[in-house]
Amino acid sequence: MRWRVLGLLFLARIGIGFQFQTVASVSDDLVVAFGLDYVDIGFLIGLFMAPGLFLSIPAGYWGRYVSDRIMVVFGLGALALGGAASSLATESWVIGIGRVFAGVGFLFTSLYFTKMVADWFEGREIATAMSVLVMSWPFGIAMGQVGHVWLAQTYGWQVPFQAASVYCLIAALGVFLLYRPPHDLPDATGGAWVALTRQEWSLLLCAAAAWGVFNAAYVIYLAFAPKVLEGHGQTAIVAAGIISIGSWIMIFSGAVCGQIVDRFGGRNGVLAVCMGGAIAALLLLGLPGAGVGASILFGLIGMAPAGAIMAMAGQAMRPQVRAFGMGMFLTVYYAIMWITPPVAGAILDATDNPRAPLWLAMILFFAVVPLGFAFQLFRGAPVVGHERKV
């Protein structure tokens, strides 16, 4: 049963990546249509993350009173609404409003999809399950990298936003009709409040920072790597297609990496090897004619440990505090994700070199490794703190 549930959540969560990728895929059209620069594009990309800074903790708290299923349906509906609003824009600020609405949906879906999988797979193949779940994000992005560019060039920049919104509405209906929680889940709704221990706080912060810098580096790659290939003479569609290769490959490499960590352990060693691969791929991307090889290396090795990193969140907390803890987890994650795209855009504007933002991505990938070691250190420490019930 839990694998059927995972399949449902995977298909529904594709909508997050599909909606997120819209701005990056039509960025050149938006620059022309609204007179934007790439700092503005980075800001619009980052706005997708902004609501998480303010709503992650309340969203986790509301999980004590509202079912996970309804929270996800609400989130997917907000994603659809945000995309529809952006598609109707005649001024750039309207696109920003749409991105904020979509960002609210991103927050709720990210929090409760992760909680659902942790509830179903705690103590049994959780790294594999999280790998499968988080691969829905690059799956949706890869769909957008190819599909959105074609739709924009054929029908206009508005249509990718609309297509992503339709997908999110269908996903919301599927979750509403088909999702059921596990029967043996401890009741975490209403009643007394159970606090995080000090050890859980330490583990949570390490996991959140690792997940944040890992995804921030990936977003920089998605937004600026195609421009590196365009500088080597590729068309926009061909460049998007080459970069999307990595996103398609990581769907499978992530599941394999999750299995390796579940069966044999050694997560920190896996992180060190894979982050080295990610950095090598970004360096290789700068060589003329090496785009396909760099994208394959990036997807096969560099992005493979996504599920193993996300599994740290599930392992950091007890089920009773998981909804609130995921709210804190996402607050840190969103702070990192909100800041980095505008910084990367500013680097491009300042240098006029599309390779320059990728150096920031390399630094962020490198930071994953010490955060993974810190998580392991805190996990092995004695439990300090106590459960507080009020």
- Compute the distance between CA of residue 260 and CA of residue 55 in angstroms, rounded to an integer: 35
Residue with tokens 């996103």: 247
Phi-psi region of 192 (alpha: psi -120 to 50; beta: other; left: phi over 0): beta
Backbone dihedral angles phi then psi of residue 122, each to the nearest 5 degrees: -55, 125
pLDDT for 288 beyond 70: yes
Q: What is the reported pLDDT for 123?
A: 67
> Per residue in 94-134, pLDDT tens?
999 999 999 999 989 988 898 888 888 876 777 788 888 88
CB 166 within 8 A of CB 15: no
Provide the mean pLDDT of the chain: 86
Backbone dihedral angles phi then psi of residue 110, each to the nearest 5 degrees: -60, -45
| Tokens encoding 112 | 């409760």
Is 2-180+188-379 a domain of CATH 1.10.10.60?
A: no
What's the gap between Cα 275 and its chain centre?
17
pLDDT for 363 beyond 90: yes
CB 294 within 8 A of CB 281: yes
Neighbours of 122 (CB within 10 A): 16
Q: Considering just the CA atoms, what is the radius of gyration of the chain in Å? A: 20
pLDDT confidence band for 385 (50 / 70 / 90): very low
The pairs formed by 168-171 with CB atoms below 8 angstroms and a separation of 24 or more are 168/15, 168/18, 168/19, 168/76, 168/77, 168/79, 168/80, 168/83, 168/105, 169/76, 169/77, 169/80, 171/11, 171/12, 171/13, 171/14, 171/15, 171/76
> Per residue in 225-278, pLDDT tens?
988 998 888 887 888 888 888 888 988 888 888 888 888 878 899 999 999 999
62-71, 276-285, 367-376: lowest mean pLDDT where?
62-71
Provide the residue ranges of all domains of the chain, joining segments of one domain with +. 2-180+188-379
> Per residue in 194-217, pLDDT tens?
577 888 888 999 999 999 999 999
Residue with tokens 């996300």: 310
Backbone dihedral angles phi then psi of residue 389, each to the nearest 5 degrees: -115, 130
> Per residue in 313-359, pLDDT tens?
777 777 777 777 877 888 888 889 888 888 988 898 889 888 899 99
Of 258 and 174, the structure prediction assigns the larger pLDDT to 174
Neighbours of 168 (CB within 10 A): 30
CB 116 within 8 A of CB 5: yes
| Tokens encoding 304 | 């493979």
Q: Is 388 exposed, middle or buried (0-12, 13-18, 19+ CB in 10 A)?
A: exposed
Q: Is 66 exposed, middle or buried (0-12, 13-18, 19+ CB in 10 A)?
A: middle
Q: Is 265 helix (H, G, I), strand (E, B) or coil?
A: coil
| Tokens encoding 12 | 């529904």
pLDDT for 388 beyond 50: no
Backbone dihedral angles phi then psi of residue 205, each to the nearest 5 degrees: -65, -40
- Compute the distance between CA of residue 209 and CA of residue 204 in angstroms, rounded to an integer: 9
- Compute the distance between CA of residue 137 and CA of residue 15 in angstroms, rounded to an integer: 8
Please report which helix (H) or strand (E) contains residue 228, including its range. Answer: helix 198-231
Residue 63 corresponds to which amino acid?
G
